[in-house]
Amino acid sequence: MTRFSANLGFLWTELSLPDAIRAAKAAGFDAVECHWPYDTPPDDVNAALTETGLAMLGLNTRRGDVAAGENGLSALPGREAEARAAIDEAVAYAVAIGCGRIHVMAGFATGPAARLAFVDNLRHACRAAAPHGITILIEPLNRYDAPGYFLTNSHQARAIIEDVGETNLKLMFDCYHLQLMEGDLTHRLADTLDIIGHIQFAGVPARGRPDEGEVAYAHVFRHLAALGYDAPLGAEYKPGGPTEPTLGWMRSLT
C-alpha cells in the first residue's frame, strides 16, 4: 500500500507547524515533512509529532537572503561560512526533532567554482550529519520555477553524489521538477533508484494537486511499488486554497 507524507511547506500553510502536523494526521497522512521550520521551537514540533505518532521526514537548509532572491547557499563560492552555518543549524534542528533527512539547497550559481563549493559543502554536511544517522539530500530544480539554480537534472546529481563520496548523500527525486526537466519518469525512477533518498510529487505543469495535469501518478505509484520502493512519498503540491478539498487523490490514485 502506498504511503504518503504531507509537505507542510505547501499544505496547511495557514496553520502553525504543530497544528499543521495535527491536520496531516487527521487527513490520513503517514508522515510529514517541511521546508524551513526554524521559527518554531523544536519542543513544540516534538510535542505534535509525539501526539500524532508521525515522523518528520525532512527539512531544508535556509535559503540565504530571501529578500535578495537567494535560494540556497551551498554552491555559492565565497559563501562557505554562511553555507556551513546553515547546514549546522539544520543538523541541530533535525536532531532535536528526530528528523532523518536534510535537503541542502545549492542556490543560484554556475561553473566549476560553484561545483567545487557545492561538493566541499556537501562533504561537510554529510560528515556533520552521519553521527546522527541523518541523510543529506540534493534536489534538482526545474529551469522554469528556478532559472539559474545550480542543480537541474538527475545526471548532474549522480555525478556530484559520486564525487562527494559519502554514503549518506542521496537524491531528492521530485517528480514535478524532473518531469519538467527530463520527462520519462518511469525509466528515470528505475535508473536512479540506487541513489534516491526521498521522492516528492505534484501535478505537472501547474504544481497543483497530483490528480490533475499530465502525469499519471497512479501508474507512477504502482511502478514504485513494483520496484520495491515503500517509503512514504512526499505530497509537495500547491493546493491553491484550503488543503482538505484537494485530498481526493489520496483515494483515487491508490
All domains in the chain, ordered by first residue:
4-252 (3.20.20.150)
Dihedral pair phi/psi, residue 233, rounded to 5° = -95, 135
The owner of cell 550529519 is 129
Contact (CB, 8 A) for 123 and 162: no
Q: What is the pTM of this model?
A: 0.97
In this structure, how many other beta carbons lie within 10 angstroms of the beta carbon of residue 62? 20
Quick one: which of 38, 33, 50 has its CA closest to 93? 38
Active-site amino acid positions: 139, 236
**Order of strands, edge to edge, in the sheet holding 169-174?**
31-33, 4-7, 233-235, 196-201, 169-174, 135-138, 101-103, 59-60
Pairing of the two strands 59-60 and 101-103: parallel
- Extract the residue ranges of the chain whose pLDDT is less than 50: none
- 146: which DSSP letter? S
Q: Using CA atoms, how far apart are residues 187 and 184, in angstroms rounded to an integer?
A: 6
The residue assigned the cell 502506498 is: 2
Q: How many residues can be counted in the chain? A: 254
Torsion sign over Cα 234, 94, 110, 121: negative
Bridge partner list, 215 = none
Cβ-based neighbours of 168, under 8 Å, separated by 6 or more: 126, 129, 130, 134, 135, 136
Provide the pLDDT for residue 1: 83
Q: 63 near 119, Cβ under 8 Å?
A: no
Instruction: Determine the distance from the C-alpha atom of residue 252 to the mean position of all C-alpha atoms in its chain, rounded to a whole number.
Output: 24
Cell (9 digits) for 133: 544517522
Cα separation, 3 vs 24, in Å, equals 13
> For residues 162, 164, 169 and 174, what is the CA-based torsion angle, rounded to 10 degrees?
-70
Task: Give the cell for residue 55.
Answer: 515522523
pLDDT value of residue 65: 96
Provide the pLDDT for residue 124. Answer: 98
